[in-house]
Chains A and B, each alone.
Chain A
Amino acid sequence: MARRASTEINAGSMADIAFLLLIFFLVTTTMDVDTGIVRRLPPPVEEEIDQKIKERNVMNVLVNKNDRLLVNGKPGSVSTLKEVAKNFMMPHFPDNINFPEAEQKSIELIGDVYVSKGVISLKNDRGTSYDMYINVQNELARAFNELRDELSRNKFGMKFSQLTDENKIKAINEAVPVRISEAEPESIGGN
């Protein structure tokens, strides 16, 4: 029997091969997490149901094709939109005719709170730029988030985004519902 001395495989290039693969994956990796503003679309309406909402409960936000804002019939700007929306959505008690109605609700974990019946109605033109639309959505979201944060700090001692308890999140959601209604599209301002 011819015993061949087993020659060791040269593993010196192993590192190089691994490096090559590593660099390939490094280059192709995209670690971006998708972020965005999450919204729920309303189900389609079968027929025009004229839902009666009291005028005092609605805040109208219109964006025209030149990206100009009309807030409750007056020209507005994005920088002040958040404050206006926040003021509007803050439950007012005792009843104030200039602000939306508030109803008393008892919610688990929070107790008795006043929940505003206000709705923010957002309407945009076909010519509005997407950038502006997102800006407006963002400002409105900020208003709601700040209200939620305030309530959450009051009741649970931490910000809404830091809450981990499912039930607490639900409770805050119920106390400060995000009520942004988007009108059925129609062309305003002649596109």
Chain B
Amino acid sequence: MSKFRTKKGKGSPAINTSSLPDIIFMLLFFFMVTTVMREVTLKVKLKLPTATEVQKLDKKSLVSYIYIGPPTNALMYGTESRIQLNDQFARVNDVPEFIASEREARNEADRPFLTTSLKVHNDTKMGVVTDVKQELRKAGAFRINYSTLKGVAKN
């Protein structure tokens, strides 16, 4: 029985946890810096296709997004693919205006490098995509990016 007593008597010193908040803060700052809050709420379903020959889009601030897909609220808006610009549904004719406002928001020096990323749902028909591309051509936004996931393309 004395065995227990001796152990208790020595007692290992408690681990010093005073630096724990610092460690946590460090992690916190890391995530704060890397966080990009999604600035739009998606109103369309997006299931991106996969491809193998993908490139990374490096400068995120120079990318404007156009979402095309079937509306999430199918009861209200149907299942036909719609275009979403910023936070609302739009028609094809609204694309040039959107591009103009995106250009306006950027530095003058950066404007030529503005890329338009097309985030299009898998099952969308090309008709609407072609229309958007035509509008982009007319608006002078020639750099485009078909947003795809990296992965094995299915044949």
> What per-residue 1/0 map shows which CB atoms of B128-154 lie under 8 Å from chain A?
011001101110111111111110011
Nearest neighbor of B53 in chain A, beta-carbon distance: A141
A44 at the interface (CB under 8 A from B): yes
Contact across chains for A36 and B125 when beta carbons are under 8 A apart: no
Complex interface: chain B residues within 8 A of A77 (CB): 155
Interface size class of B (residues with CB under 8 A): 35 or more
Q: How far is the CB of A57 from chain B (nearest CB, A)?
A: 24
Contact across chains for B60 and A34 when beta carbons are under 8 A apart: yes
Contact across chains for A130 and B124 when beta carbons are under 8 A apart: yes
Nearest neighbor of B18 in chain A, beta-carbon distance: A11
Q: How far is the CB of B153 from chain A (nearest CB, A)?
A: 5
A-B interface contact total, Cβ < 8 Å: 152
Contact across chains for A22 and B37 when beta carbons are under 8 A apart: no
- B4-12, B106-114, B115-123: which lies at the A interface? B115-123
Complex interface: chain B residues within 8 A of A134 (CB): 49, 51, 146, 148, 153
Give 4 closest A-B pairs by Cβ, nearest first: A126-B127, A25-B31, A141-B53, A18-B24
Q: How far is the CB of A173 from chain B (nearest CB, A)?
A: 14
> What per-residue 1/0 map shows which CB atoms of A130-143 lie under 8 Å from chain B?
11011101110110
Complexed CA–CA distance, A128 and B126 (Å): 5
A125 at the interface (CB under 8 A from B): yes
Contact across chains for B148 and A37 when beta carbons are under 8 A apart: yes
Complex interface: chain A residues within 8 A of B127 (CB): 126-127, 191
Nearest neighbor of B65 in chain A, beta-carbon distance: A34
Which secondary structure characterizes the binding site on chain B? mixed
> What per-residue 1/0 map shows which CB atoms of A10-53 lie under 8 Å from chain B?
01001100110110011011110111111111111000000000
Contact across chains for B53 and A79 when beta carbons are under 8 A apart: no
Q: How far is the CB of B138 from chain A (nearest CB, A)?
A: 5
B14 at the interface (CB under 8 A from A): no
Complexed CA–CA distance, A43 and B141 (Å): 9
Contact across chains for A135 and B49 when beta carbons are under 8 A apart: yes
A34-B130 contact given A44-B137, A130-B124, CB 8 Å threshold: no
Contact across chains for B54 and A43 when beta carbons are under 8 A apart: no
Which residues on A are within 8 Å of B, measured CB to CB?
11, 14-15, 18-19, 21-22, 25-26, 28-31, 33-44, 77-79, 124-131, 133-135, 137-139, 141-142, 145, 185, 191
Complex interface: chain A residues within 8 A of B141 (CB): 41
Could you jot down 19 A-B contacts, CB within 8 Å? A15-B17, A15-B20, A15-B21, A19-B24, A22-B31, A29-B31, A29-B34, A30-B35, A30-B36, A34-B60, A37-B54, A38-B143, A39-B146, A79-B155, A128-B126, A130-B125, A130-B126, A135-B154, A185-B130
Q: How far is the CB of B131 from chain A (nearest CB, A)?
A: 8
Complex interface: chain A residues within 8 A of B21 (CB): 11, 14-15, 18
Contact across chains for B144 and A15 when beta carbons are under 8 A apart: no
